[in-house]
Structure 1
Amino acid sequence: MPHFDLFFKTEELRRRLEPHLRLIPSFFEFTIRTGTPEVRYFDQKDPMWKGFPFPVPEKTVYVFDDAIPARALGGGMDKRASIRVTRDDHDDEAIALRIWHEVLHAIGQPADDMAKRAGEWQSVSDRLMWTAWQSLSRSVDVPFWHRKFYEWLTERAAEGQA
């Protein structure tokens, strides 16, 4: 099971979001901390990543707020992840899903490939619902589908599949 030190930049972020981490399966274990780990910054010339703090130590996740001027909402790779919480983020469960998404990236899972891999993770009833959902001009980029996909990716990781 992957274990991460999960840093919340402020005590306020920690109090707000820690209860929602229950959405993330127990396959992932977290030691919860408040503060800022050692970070580095991505390409400062790329407007998407300029100012985005990324943890240096392996097995570290950093959740930060808008006081840090960054544009990207999250990034994860090489057993590390960072997640930005904006002042417009009012759905704490959606933020927990964002954390789950980036932690999946941190362990090498293709968390951006929900639609591309739909045939692999969906049951027959999911496929029917997915098709009906889209026929109503609804976006599949919603928590309902993300949870199903992230659960599949987590099971895949637990089975040792990259």
Structure 2
Amino acid sequence: MPHFDLFFKTEALRQRLEPHLGLIPPFFRFTVRTGTPEVRYFDQKDPMWKGFPFPVPAKTVYVFDDAIPARALGGGMDMRASIRVTREDTDDEALVLRIWHEILHAIGQPADDMARRAAEWQSISERLVWAAWQSLARQTDVPFWHRKFYSWLTERAESGAGGR
């Protein structure tokens, strides 16, 4: 059961998002804090990551809202994750899904592979709904499908498949 120190840069971010952390299964445990952990910055020449703060200590997650030049909204690896909240982010539950996504990466789960692994995590009826959904020109990159996929990845991690 991974236990992370979850830092919210500001008290306002903490008050906004902490009430929604229950979306993330109890397999993940958090000690919630306000402030900034020790961070490092990714490749300053890469516009995707320039200025993006990433925690140094293992088992640390950092949620921040800085106006930074980086385009990345999140990153996770090696038991660490960082999540950026932008002014355009209005759906708090979607932001918590972003946190869940990055902590899945932090424990070595393939959180970017929702469509590629659909046959592994969907039931037959879900595959039919997925196909119908797409045939109506609906995007599958929505919270409904993310919750199902991230739940499957969490169960996969609990069983010891892939990741840490």
* Same fold at TM > 0.5: yes
Write the distance in 1 (CA, Å) between the matches of 2:63 and 2:71: 14
Write the distance in 1 (CA, Å) between the matches of 2:16 and 2:69: 21
> 1:43 — aligned with what?
43
Question: How far 1:46 sits from its partner (Å)?
Answer: 0.4
Write the distance in 1 (CA, Å) between the matches of 2:116 and 2:67: 35
SS in structure 2 opposite 1:30? strand
The superposition leaves residues 47-77 of structure 1 with CA deviations (integer Å, 9 ceiling, x where unpaired) of 0000000000000000000334432100000
Write the distance in 2 (CA, Å) between the matches of 1:93 and 1:114: 19
> 1:73 — aligned with what?
73
> 1:63 — aligned with what?
63
| 5+ long unaligned stretches in structure 1 | none
> 1:97 — aligned with what?
97
> 1:132 — aligned with what?
132
1:9 aligns with 2:33: no
Q: Are the counterparts in 2 of residues 53 and 82 from structure 1 also a CA contact under 8 Å?
A: yes
Structure 1 residue identity aligned to 2:82: S
Structure 2 residue identity aligned to 1:154: T
- With over 3 angstroms needed to count, the CA separation of the structure-2 counterparts of 1:69 and 1:12, relative to structure 1, is farther
SS in structure 1 opposite 2:132? helix
Q: Are the counterparts in 2 of residues 66 and 87 from structure 1 also a CA contact under 8 Å?
A: no
Write the distance in 2 (CA, Å) between the matches of 1:87 and 1:50: 19
Cα RMSD, aligned residues only: 0.7
Write the distance in 2 (CA, Å) between the matches of 1:66 and 1:37: 14
> 2:110 — aligned with what?
110
SS in structure 2 opposite 1:82? strand
Write the distance in 1 (CA, Å) between the matches of 2:75 and 2:101: 9
| 5+ long unaligned stretches in structure 2 | none
SS in structure 2 opposite 1:141? coil
The superposition leaves residues 121-152 of structure 1 with CA deviations (integer Å, 9 ceiling, x where unpaired) of 00011000000000000000000000000000
Identity of aligned residues (%): 83
Write the distance in 2 (CA, Å) between the matches of 1:93 and 1:67: 21
Structure 2 residue identity aligned to 1:107: I
Q: TM-score, normalised by structure 2?
A: 0.97
SS in structure 2 opposite 1:137? coil
Structure 2 residue identity aligned to 1:156: R
Write the distance in 1 (CA, Å) between the matches of 2:35 and 2:55: 12
SS in structure 1 opposite 2:5? strand
Q: How many residues align?
A: 162
The superposition leaves residues 82-126 of structure 1 with CA deviations (integer Å, 9 ceiling, x where unpaired) of 000000000000000000000000000000000000000000110
Structure 2 residue identity aligned to 1:130: W
